[in-house]
Copies of this chain bind each other. A is one copy, B any other.
């Protein structure tokens, strides 16, 4: 197996889908932007949907790896790591091509809850929840699961608000709220 060409396709398709949307990015545009022939694409993926699912898998891996690592780099203490999630988000929001969360967009374009793309997006959010809940447990905070859910609500809110762009500093607003919420979960 030579994974390079396939991985190159998925990587470049990710960029195209992220900045143009799923429905709005046709396979011919993908040919143009990736430089990979359509014949080759359809040898690797039977349908466009299969390609999108592969793109989402890559995005899940990249994003979670990046976020978890960045949180660890920004703080040692697990409690402070939870808070520093919002500093990591701020870095993301201020990147030039920031266009919101790929999974929120995927679930916007594939709304049916039973659709594979929708389900895979939900899986991504679930994994984040598990991780944050584990961190809250390590930090010996009260009611770790509800706390994790609250922090993630702030995260999702900040992501869409930063994209809608009607607020300057969504990440720092979310961080301030997180500190206040977290204070209520101290023993």
Contacts and interface: CB of A to CB of B under 8 A. Distances in A.
Given A100-B108, A181-B180, A184-B180, A156 B161 contact: yes
Interface stretch (A48-56, A74-82, A164-172): A164-172
Interface string A143-187: 000100110111111101101111100100110110011011000
A166 to B, nearest CB: 4
A24 B23 contact: yes
B111 A108 contact: no
Interface residues of A, number: 48
A107 B163 contact: yes
A140 interface: no
Contact of A173 (B111, B149, B176): B149
A129 interface: yes
Q: Chain A: interface secondary structure?
A: helix
A23 B22 CA distance: 10
Interface of A: 19-21, 23-24, 99-100, 103-105, 107-109, 111, 113, 118, 121-123, 125-126, 129, 146, 149-150, 152-158, 160-161, 163-167, 170, 173-174, 176-177, 180-181, 183-184
12 contacts: A19-B111, A23-B24, A100-B107, A104-B164, A105-B108, A111-B163, A122-B166, A129-B166, A153-B173, A156-B157, A156-B161, A157-B160
